[in-house]
Each structure stands twice: as C-alpha cells, then as structure tokens.
Amino acid sequence: MQQAELLHGLSPHDAEELLKIGTRMTLKRGTVLFELGSPADSVYIVTQSRLSLTLPMMVRGREENVLIEERQTGQALGWSALIPPNRFTLTASAPFGAEVLRIPREVLAGHLTARPEVGYIVMRNVAEIVGQRLQVFQAMWLREMQRVVELSAAREASA
C-alpha cells in the first residue's frame, strides 16, 4: 500500500501515518462508490481490484453510464475532495467488487496542515495525477476532433 501513487516520495513512516487515518471499505460487485455531482467528502485509494469511472451518455435514446477511465490497485480517486467546489465530476463503481481505503477530507486536511512537508508531497502527487489525466484527455480529445474533421470533409465531398 505504501507504493500507492498518492504516497510517492513519502518516507515509510509518513506513509504509514497517512494510511492509518483511512478506513478500509469492501465494495460488493456493482456498488456505486460515489455519483457525479455528489459532495466529495473523501479521497480513496484502491487497495484491491479496480473501479470504473463513468459519465452518463445518451445511447439510442437511453441514458447509459459510459466508461471514461479505470483506477487500479494503488491508484487514487476522488481527488475532487481536495479541490473546490468539492463535487465529484464522475461516477465511480466497482463492476467486479473491490476494496478501497477511504480517507475523509477533513481528517486528511487536518493531517496535511499539521505536517506541511507531508502535505507538500501529497499535493504534488495530486497535481501529477490531475496533470496526467489532463494530458491523456487532451490527446484523446484531439484524436476525436481529427475524426470529426475527417467525417465533415467526407460529408462535404459527398454532398
């Protein structure tokens, strides 16, 4: 667990201290951990299996939760809890069941304020997670835009 991405760069002692403030939660198959738009009151670290992050999309007139990203063992999710307006921007669920470590925002904030050197490293890790997600989605968005442009050109050519 000390290899979790949120804990990179922390000493084993500091990582252990941080893990102690969390509570382990077992999620049954199909459990929704949090929903899009709900208050983000906790950060989670996946300790077993994986979680799906989804967004609603209209598919043939029906609203369906479509997979956007997956979080595996050791990865964090729910970083919206650390950033205003503290609302989840995705829905997280455990399609195969999972286990997570839940770290309440207020407790984490108190811990990080009391230990600013730990707070700096953790927030740097959060920035890295957010930055990587941004870069991946920028590339994915551009790839889709390229297809839109190609489809548009093909439509114009056939008109």
Q: Which is nearer to other proteins, 127 or 140 (CB)?
A: 140
Residue 32: HSE in the Cβ half-sphere, 13 Å Cα cutoff: 10
Q: Is 142 helix (H, G, I), strand (E, B) or coil?
A: helix
Q: Does 63 sit near other proteins (CB under 8 A)?
A: no
Q: Which member of 62, 84, 85, 114 binds other proteins (CB under 8 A)? A: 62
Distance of CA 62 to the CA centre of its chain: 25
Per this entry, what is the length of the chain? 159
Q: Which is nearer to other proteins, 3 or 158 (CB)?
A: 158
Chosen residue from 132, 145, 149, 153 binding other proteins by CB under 8 A: 132
Q: Which residues contact 133 (CB under 8 A, 6 or more apart)?
A: 69
59: contact with other proteins by CB under 8 A? yes
5 near other proteins, rule: CB under 8 A: no
CB of 151 to other proteins, least distance (A): 10
| Cα–Cα distance, 143 to 149 (Å, whole number) | 10
Q: What tokens were used for 3? A: 């290899």
Cα separation, 50 vs 56, whole angstroms = 20
136 lines the binding site for other proteins (CB under 8 A):
yes
Minimal distance, residue 157 CB to other proteins, in Å: 10
Contacts with other proteins by CB under 8 A lie at 57, 59-60, 62, 64, 66-70, 132, 135-137, 139-140, 142-144, 146-147, 158-159
